[in-house]
C-alpha cells in the first residue's frame, strides 16, 4: 500500500501505530462496543476500535480508526498492518449511501456480490460481510464470545413473575418471531392476550413498541380482557442466524419503552439475546413493575 493510500485510509482520532490491536472491534452506535472494550481491557487483551464513517462510536477517549465503506479493501490492509487477526462486529448501523466516485479498485470488485446479498435481506448481507473479512484472513468472532456474561441463562430476572397468560403470550410471540426470521424480516413481536399488536421490521424495536402503544391506546382496548395480561415484547435471534453478527441486544431504554407502551414485561429467547446492562435492567424492571424473562421453550413461571 502506497503512502497516499495510507494517508487516505488512516483517519484515526489518535495515533495507534505504536500499540497495534489484535482484536478489531468494528463498532456501530449504542453501548455494546464499549462494553466489549472494557471486557478486553479487563483481560489485558490488545484491541483496535474502528468506526464506519457516519456512525460514530462513543469511544470515551479511546483511539478510533475511522474507515469508509467505499475503501473497505484499504481498511482491511490497514488492519493487517496494525496486527489485527480477529474481528468482532458490535453496535447498530444502517445501510450506508455509497458514493461510486470514492471506491478504490479492489473494493469496487466487491460491490456486485454485496448488492446481490442486499437483495436477499439483512441477514444475507451480513453473512457476505463476514465472508469478505474471512477471505482476507481474519477470524470473525461473536460479541458473546468476548463477553459471555452478556447472554443470560434461562430464568426470570428480578422480582416480578410472569403469569400463565404472560407465558402463553411469550410462546405465541416466539412463534411469530421465528416465522419473521425465516424470511429475514425482524427479530421481535408484541403480543397481548394472544393478539399480535406489532412486529419488528425496518424501523426496529423502537418503532415496534411505538406501534404497540398506539394500538393499546385505542378505545376500546383491543385486548379481550381489560383486566388480564397486559402483553409482552419478545426478542430472539433469527432461526439459523450467524451468531457472530447482529445478535439482538437489549438495554434499559427498551424496558422504558415497554412501560410506556403499557405492556407487562420484556422477554427474550435465552442464549440468543444480549443484555447490555443486566444489573441496571433488573433494577429498572423491578421499579417499573415489569417482568424480565430470559425464556426458553422448557421454562415456565413457578
Q: Do 90 and 165 share a structural domain?
A: no
Instruction: State the pLDDT at residue 242.
Output: 83
Q: Do 121 and 159 share a structural domain?
A: no
Instruction: State the pLDDT at residue 16.
Output: 37
Q: Does the pLDDT of residue 20 top 50, yes or no?
A: no
Percent of the chain at pLDDT exceeding 90: 66
Using one digit for the tens of pLDDT, what is the confidence trace for 154-198?
A: 999 999 999 999 999 999 999 999 999 888 889 999 999 999 999
Give the end of a domain, one of 76, 111, 146: 146
Find the domain containing 243 and state its range: 151-295
Give me the CATH number covering residue 104: 3.40.50.20
Q: Higher confidence at residue 205 or residue 2?
A: 205
Instruction: State the pLDDT at residue 298.
Output: 67
Q: What is the rounded average pLDDT for all residues in the chain?
A: 88
Rounded CA separation 8/239 (Å): 40
Which residues touch 165 (CB under 8 Å, ≥6 apart)?
Answer: 193, 228, 229
Using one digit for the tens of pLDDT, what is the confidence trace for 35-45?
A: 999 999 999 99
Q: Do 269 and 198 share a structural domain?
A: yes
pLDDT confidence bin for 3, thresholds 50/70/90: very low
Give the end of a domain, one of 130, 146, 162: 146
Rounded CA separation 136/171 (Å): 42
Which residues touch 160 (CB under 8 Å, ≥6 apart)?
Answer: 265, 285, 286, 289, 290, 291, 292
Give the end of a domain, one of 146, 172, 196: 146
Contact 29, 93 (CB under 8 A): yes
Average pLDDT over residues 229-252: 90
Instruction: State the pLDDT at residue 40.
Output: 96
Average pLDDT over residues 14-37: 75
Using one digit for the tens of pLDDT, what is the confidence trace for 117-135?
A: 877 777 778 888 899 999 9
Q: Do 159 and 139 share a structural domain?
A: no
Amino acid at each position: 500500500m502506497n503512502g497516499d493510500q495510507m494517508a487516505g485510509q488512516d483517519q484515526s482520532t489518535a495515533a495507534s501505530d505504536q500499540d497495534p490491536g489484535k482484536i478489531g472491534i468494528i463498532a456501530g452506535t449504542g453501548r455494546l462496543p464499549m462494553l466489549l472494550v472494557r471486557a478486553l481491557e479487563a483481560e489485558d487483551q490488545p484491541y483496535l476500535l474502528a468506526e464506519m464513517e457516519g456512525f460514530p462510536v462513543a469511544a470515551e477517549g479511546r483511539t478510533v480508526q475511522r474507515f469508509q465503506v467505499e475503501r473497505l479493501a484499504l481498511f482491511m490492509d490497514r488492519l493487517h498492518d496494525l496486527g489485527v487477526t480477529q474481528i468482532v462486529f458490535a453496535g447498530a448501523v444502517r445501510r450506508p449511501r455509497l458514493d461510486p466516485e470514492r471506491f478504490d479498485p479492489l473494493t469496487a470488485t466487491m460491490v456486485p456480490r454485496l448488492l446481490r446479498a442486499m437483495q436477499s435481506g439483512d441477514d444475507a448481507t451480513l453473512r457476505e460481510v463476514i465472508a469478505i473479512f474471512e477471505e482476507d484472513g481474519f477470524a470473525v468472532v461473536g460479541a458473546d464470545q468476548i463477553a459471555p456474561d452478556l447472554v443470560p441463562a434461562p430464568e426470570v430476572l428480578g422480582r416480578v413473575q410472569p403469569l400463565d397468560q404472560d407465558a402463553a403470550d411469550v410462546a405465541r410471540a416466539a412463534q411469530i418471531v421465528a416465522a419473521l426470521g425465516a424470511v429475514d424480516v425482524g427479530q421481535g413481536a408484541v403480543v397481548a392476550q394472544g393478539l399480535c399488536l406489532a412486529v419488528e421490521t425496518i424501523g426496529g424495536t423502537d418503532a415496534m413498541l411505538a406501534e404497540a402503544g398506539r394500538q393499546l391506546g385505542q378505545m376500546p382496548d383491543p385486548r379481550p380482557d381489560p383486566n388480564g395480561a397486559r402483553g409482552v415484547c419478545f426478542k430472539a435471534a433469527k432461526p439459523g442466524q450467524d451468531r457472530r453478527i447482529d445478535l439482538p441486544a437489549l438495554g434499559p431504554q427498551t424496558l422504558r419503552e415497554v412501560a410506556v407502551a403499557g405492556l407487562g414485561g420484556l422477554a427474550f429467547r435465552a442464549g440468543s439475546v444480549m443484555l447490555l446492562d443486566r444489573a441496571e435492567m433488573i433494577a429498572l424492571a423491578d421499579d417499573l413493575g415489569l417482568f424480565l424473562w430470559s425464556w426458553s421453550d422448557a421454562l415456565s413461571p413457578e
